[in-house]
Amino acid sequence: MEQEELLIKIAGILEKLNIPYAVTGGIAVSVWGRARFTADIDIAVELFPEKLKDLASELLKIDKDVYVDELSMQRALEKKGEFNFIHPASGLKVDFWVLKGTSFDKKEVERKISREFSGTSVSFISPEDLILRKLLWYKMTESDRQLEDIKSVLERQKKLDIKYIKKWAKIHSTNKILGKLLKDVS
């Protein structure tokens, strides 16, 4: 199974179960910025307890030898953390990030953008929210990859809502990093 095929199957499951989601991470960078390799699929989900069993059941139907642990899903839901889906035959991994319910998380899902991906409509994080999410990751990890990803989105997307980005960067205390990046790409 290829990465695109798995993403389309999972997006279909999330749509079928009415679970709000947005593809984020490296795949979203490839959509809004420069194409780059990513070993996994990152999906932000607004998951509720009543959907957990159905989601686990549907994920297990994707292929005969897949890994998804309902207990890990339950913990991720309780702690607003992450759980994984693994497709061993292909080596593909999906990281599901349970949204914490903050006002920014809510905006991230509200502002998602559907894009055609291999002939199927898939919901992606907006380029502005991707930049903000990458700024938060940089703040935690100081990984240069986050900065490279942000620059690529800033360079490729010419109609960004910079006012929105600056507002949230200030709230997240990432405005100094953002200011430097904006200067670098101008």
Residues 57 and 133 in one domain: no
Structural domain tally of the chain? 2
Residues spanned by the domain of 10 = 3-125
Q: List Cα–Cα distances, 105 to 20, 80, 110, in angstroms.
A: 11, 11, 9
Are 31 and 104 part of one and the same domain?
yes
* Judgement on whether residues 25 and 77 belong to the same structural domain of the protein: yes
Q: Is the pLDDT of residue 27 over 80?
A: yes
Final residue of a domain: which of 74, 96, 125? Answer: 125
Q: What is the pLDDT of residues 116-146, one digit of tens each?
A: 877 889 999 999 999 999 999 999 999 999 9
Element housing 171 (H / E): helix 162-171
State whether 121 and 133 are in the same domain: no
Residues 133 and 113 in one domain: no
Q: What is the domain-level CATH number for residue 36?
A: 3.30.460.40
99 and 141 share a domain? no
Q: State residue 118's pLDDT score.
A: 79
Task: Indicate whether 12 and 61 sit together in one domain.
Answer: yes
Query: Last residue of some domain: 76, 100, 125?
Result: 125
Whole-angstrom distance, CA of residue 138 vs CA of residue 160: 20
121/136 same-domain check: no
In this structure, are residues 21 and 105 in contact, taking their beta carbons and an 8 Å threshold? no
| Mean pLDDT of the residues in the chain | 94
- Does the reported pTM lie above 0.85? yes
Same domain as 96, residue 9 = yes
pLDDT in tens, 38-66: 889 999 999 999 999 999 999 999 988 89
Q: For position 38, what pLDDT does the model report?
A: 85
Asked if residue 78 and residue 158 are part of one domain, the reply reads no
Q: Residue 134: CB partners within 8 Å, gap ≥ 6?
A: 29, 146, 147, 149, 150, 153
Could you tell me if 60 and 152 lie in one domain?
no
**Same domain for 74 and 153:** no
User: Residue 43 is inside which H or E element, if any?
Assistant: strand 40-45
Last residue of a domain, one of 80, 99, 125: 125
Residue 162: pLDDT over 90: yes
